[in-house]
């Protein structure tokens, strides 16, 4: 997510919500024995636990902001993830799943999709063909968003 998107999300939140979002993400990445409770986070930002709950479960800007912060943190840990992946590949018993992930990540393996025509030999109206084309366009659009 871009800094522009982050700024747009922050503009939709109040200061307490931004602080609460940071604390919620920090909570999720903290070791189990060091995690703050949601009660502690709510107290620290000066809201009730129920308000914090509503933000976390019903406020789209808050949820998107939390996800943005978490994504940023994970992006900063990508080298660690790659190192762990390489350990699964180069270890004494190489992981086939690790090798598969490596190849997929670098575009060396792609999914094969079998297309079966169940309507061979039947005639379709222009509307039916147009509907099928729309469905195929939607599937292609979904596939473009994957990496």
Q: What is the CATH number of the domain that holds 95?
A: 1.10.10
- What CATH number should be reported for the domain holding residue 13? 1.10.10.60
Considering the domain architecture, whether residues 69 and 110 belong to the same structural domain is answered as no
19-57, pLDDT tens digit by residue?
A: 999 999 999 999 999 999 999 999 999 999 999 999 999
Distance CA(84)–CA(98), nearest Å, equals 10
Considering the domain architecture, whether residues 7 and 65 belong to the same structural domain is answered as yes
Q: SS3 of 54, please?
A: helix
pLDDT at 118: 67
Report the domain count for the chain. Answer: 2
Considering the domain architecture, whether residues 71 and 18 belong to the same structural domain is answered as yes
Q: Among residues 76, 92, 120, which one ends one of the domains?
A: 76
Considering the domain architecture, whether residues 44 and 88 belong to the same structural domain is answered as no
79-105, pLDDT tens digit by residue?
A: 888 898 889 999 899 888 888 888 888
Considering the domain architecture, whether residues 68 and 86 belong to the same structural domain is answered as no
In order of 20, 91, 144, the CA distances from 61 in angstroms are: 13, 43, 25
Query: Which residues constitute the domain of residue 61?
Result: 3-76
Considering the domain architecture, whether residues 57 and 119 belong to the same structural domain is answered as no
Q: Among residues 61, 76, 91, which one ends one of the domains?
A: 76
Considering the domain architecture, whether residues 111 and 144 belong to the same structural domain is answered as yes
Report the predicted TM-score, pTM, of the whole model to 2 decimal places: 0.59
Considering the domain architecture, whether residues 64 and 87 belong to the same structural domain is answered as no
Considering the domain architecture, whether residues 108 and 86 belong to the same structural domain is answered as yes
Task: Phi first, then psi: give them for residue 36, nearest 5 degrees.
Answer: -80, 150
Q: SS3 of 116, please?
A: coil
Map tokens 């700024």 to a residue.
7
Burial code (b: 16+ CB inside 10 Å, e: under 16) for 85-99 equals beebeeeeeeeeebe
């Amino acid at each position: 997510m871009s800094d522009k998107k982050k700024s747009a999300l922050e503009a939709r939140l109040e200061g307490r919500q931004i602080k609460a979002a940071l604390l919620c993400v920090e909570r999720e990445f903290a070791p189990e024995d060091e995690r703050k409770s949601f009660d502690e986070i709510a107290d620290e930002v000066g809201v009730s636990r129920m308000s914090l709950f509503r933000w976390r479960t019903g406020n789209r800007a808050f949820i998107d902001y939390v996800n943005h912060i978490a994504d940023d943190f994970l992006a900063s840990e990508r080298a660690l993830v790659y190192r762990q992946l390489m350990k699964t590949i180069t270890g004494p018993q190489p992981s086939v799943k690790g090798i598969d992930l490596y190849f997929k990540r670098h575009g060396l393996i792609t999914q094969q999709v079998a297309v079966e025509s169940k309507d061979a030999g039947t005639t379709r109206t222009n509307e039916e063909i147009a509907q099928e084309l729309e469905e195929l366009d939607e599937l292609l659009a979904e596939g473009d968003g994957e990496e």
